[in-house]
Structure 1
Amino acid sequence: MANSPQAKKRARQNEKRFAVNKARRSRIRTFLRKAEEAIASGDKDAAAEAVRAAQPELMRGVTKGVYHKNTASRKISRLTARVKALG
């Protein structure tokens, strides 16, 4: 348990940051799930649109420190490849 004022403050800050990051991760996962579902449906136009919508969300997660740059790039790359394969 935090005893010093500084440790108490850090604990409060960590809770806030955790909540913000959790919401961001959830939002990104929603976009990814929509892209996955669009790809699974077989509709190339809808899938391409869903991936285009997911891309900036993923990269925003990178700039906010939720995801590593390479992780986001890998996810985007794999989604794009799957959309391309639909054609």
Structure 2
Amino acid sequence: MANTPSAKKAVRKIETRTKVNTARRSRVRTFLRKVEEAIASGDQAAAAAALKAAEPELQRAAGKGVFHKNLASRKISRLAKRVKALGA
């Protein structure tokens, strides 16, 4: 258990940050799920719209340090590739 006042404050800050990061991660996963569902339905227009909405959320989470930047780029790239394949 934290003994010093600074350690106690650090624990409070960590708890707050954890809640924010958890909410942000959940939000991104919801956006990604919507893209996956649109791809599964075979509707390219809906999939493209969902991807357009999901991309800034993923980038924002990567910028805040919730996800690694490469992970966000990789996910966007792979989803874009799959959405493009629907139209072909």
TM-score calculated relative to the size of structure 2: 0.97
Deviation of 1:55 (Å): 0.2
2:52 pairs with 1:52: yes
Match of 2:12 in 1: 12
List structure 1 segments (4+ residues) > 6 angstroms apart after TM superposition.
Answer: none
Runs of 5+ unmatched residues, structure 2: none
Match of 1:36 in 2: 36
Distance 1:49 1:34 in 2: 10
Match of 2:62 in 1: 62
TM-score calculated relative to the size of structure 1: 0.98
Report the residue type matching 1:71 in the other structure.
Answer: L
Deviation of 1:63 (Å): 1.2
Report the residue type matching 2:60 in the other structure.
Answer: R
Distance 2:61 2:48 in 1: 20
Query: Sequence identity of aligned pairs in percent?
Result: 70
Q: Secondary structure at the match of 1:65?
A: coil
Give aligned pairs, total.
Answer: 87
Report the residue type matching 1:42 in the other structure.
Answer: G
Distance 2:49 2:5 in 1: 49
Cα RMSD after superposing both structures: 0.5
Distance 1:12 1:18 in 2: 10
Q: Secondary structure at the match of 1:66?
A: coil
Match of 1:23 in 2: 23
